[in-house]
Amino acid sequence: MTSASEPSRDDADIAMARLDALAACTDEPGRITRLAFSPALRDANARVLAWMREAGMAAGIDAAGNVVGRWEAETAGASAVMIGSHLDTVRDGGRYDGPLGVVAGIAVVERLRREGRRLPLAVEVIGFADEEGVRFGGSILGSAAVAGTLAPDWRERRDADGIDAATALRSFGVDPDGVGAASRRRDPPAAYLELHIEQGPALEDADVPLGCVTAIAGATRLLVTVDGTAGHAGTVPMRLRRDALAAAAECVLAVERLCAGAEAVGTVGHLRVAPDAVNVIPGRVRFSVDIRAAQDEVRTRLVDAALAEFQASARRRRVELAWQVTSRTETTPCSPRLVEALAGVLAGMGLPAPRLASGAGHDGIAVSAITEIGMLFLRCAGGISHHPAESVTVADVRLGIEALHRWSLALRRG
């Protein structure tokens, strides 16, 4: 693409100012906390809605509380390239994870407006309302509503204050009985594009501003219980012990060793010991395992290998082992066509186009049920996300907007 205009300083500067304005929409003063369907999210939606309208888009809040704007195509009613991300955050989060993709999408449309340009496809920008899943324990609405894949029990889920999701929606100004109307199953976008901070250090390590995401890694989570025998720390000889924590420690290290030797990541993030006392041999330990890989067969093989090692440790140490799979998500591949188009865009900008998988989940997982998805990662300082220290440079944001703009122009219907 050589026809795209040079990046204007204003685009990135305005985007950064808007990200600061959104950071001020918070449920907890002094922190950035915008939970799904909270007053702070309603504020953020109102700001985004105003920016969309200033950019010449037809915009509104959809039936699930997402904010959506549309820049019409050459032919009215044509299908759309959807550009988006989420506007909710974790508690005490950062200002870029999510909102960056929304303000960058608006910047793309502002350019089209400045250039007086309509495309064969419309451009829609969407800010999803519930991606982080902090409030109701799982991403219940937002992109799932747009994809028409809402969990059957979404209405009954409750937040920490006991407020159910249906009530939360009502106080947000959304009719819980009408949420189904947000589904785009009958009118799916032609493609979904998302610009998101990397949430990892690979781009920074490689000294590269942008990267092409090939897939959103699948994840398997286990809850493992090890049962040994509790006893007095001072009286039971070592050779007679059935120490559940010592066995669990071997399991934790096995996860680390197996994943370090593969294209995967594995984490034991939660471990509970009972009894929990300095002078008692642990009788029961429960721990979580989270294994992710961009290839499902790699993940499945690692889960099997980890369980085999857990069982071997349990036999050796004469403890009982039980486990259950608490969640399993398959890998969501990005569309090869969109990845190729993005790589071409980055090459045209004189940039490297490293390919990497996303270890974290994104709205694209849900949206992939109705259309092909593509993701563009932007370098973030230290790979930090979900934290106030999240940081990006205005120069990288400028490149990100330019790439997103060229990527949208490169797409043709079908």
Determine contact, residues 147/183, Cβ cutoff 8 Å: yes
Would you say 213 or 230 has its CB closer to Zn ion?
213
- The Cα 132–Cα 119 span in angstroms is 32
Would you say 283 or 361 has its CB closer to Zn ion?
361
Residue 97: CB minimum distance to Zn ion, A: 4
Task: Reduce the secondary structure of 240-268 to three states and give it as a string.
Answer: HCCCHHHHHHHHHHHHHHHHHCCCEEEEC
Residue 162: CB minimum distance to Zn ion, A: 27
Contacts of Zn ion in 237-276 (CB under 5 A): none
How many residues bind Zn ion (CB under 5 A)? The answer is: 2
Query: Which of these segments, 25-33, 95-103, 159-167, 289-297, binds Zn ion (CB under 5 A)?
Result: 95-103
Residue 119: CB minimum distance to Zn ion, A: 27
Determine contact, residues 117/71, Cβ cutoff 8 Å: no
Would you say 79 or 199 has its CB closer to Zn ion?
199
Token pair listed for 55: 């950019």
- The Cα 373–Cα 367 span in angstroms is 7
Query: E strand or H helix at 100, and its extent?
Result: helix 99-114
**Hey, which residues does 82 pair with through a beta bridge?**
124, 192
> Is 363 an interacting residue with respect to Zn ion (CB under 5 A)?
no
Residue 65: CB minimum distance to Zn ion, A: 17
Would you say 98 or 400 has its CB closer to Zn ion?
98
113-132 burial string, b = 16+ CB within 10 Å, else e? eeeeebbebbbbbbbbbbbb
Query: Which of these segments, 89-97, 112-120, 289-297, 388-396, binds Zn ion (CB under 5 A)?
Result: 89-97
Q: Measured between alpha carbons, how far is residue 403 from residues 77, 129, 211, 392, 396 in Å? A: 26, 25, 10, 16, 10
> Is 97 an interacting residue with respect to Zn ion (CB under 5 A)?
yes
Token pair listed for 240: 């007679």
Residue 132: CB minimum distance to Zn ion, A: 7
Would you say 69 or 98 has its CB closer to Zn ion?
98
> Is 400 an interacting residue with respect to Zn ion (CB under 5 A)?
no
Q: Look at the block and give the residue holding tokens 């250090």.
A: 201
Query: Which of these segments, 17-25, 65-73, 96-104, 105-113, binds Zn ion (CB under 5 A)?
Result: 96-104
- The Cα 11–Cα 171 span in angstroms is 35
Residue 231: CB minimum distance to Zn ion, A: 47
- The Cα 332–Cα 336 span in angstroms is 12
Would you say 98 or 364 has its CB closer to Zn ion?
98
> Is 94 an interacting residue with respect to Zn ion (CB under 5 A)?
no
Residue 145: CB minimum distance to Zn ion, A: 17
One of 7, 69, 93, 98 touching Zn ion (CB under 5 A): 98
> Is 130 an interacting residue with respect to Zn ion (CB under 5 A)?
no
Would you say 23 or 248 has its CB closer to Zn ion?
23
Q: Which residues bind Zn ion (CB under 5 A)?
A: 97-98
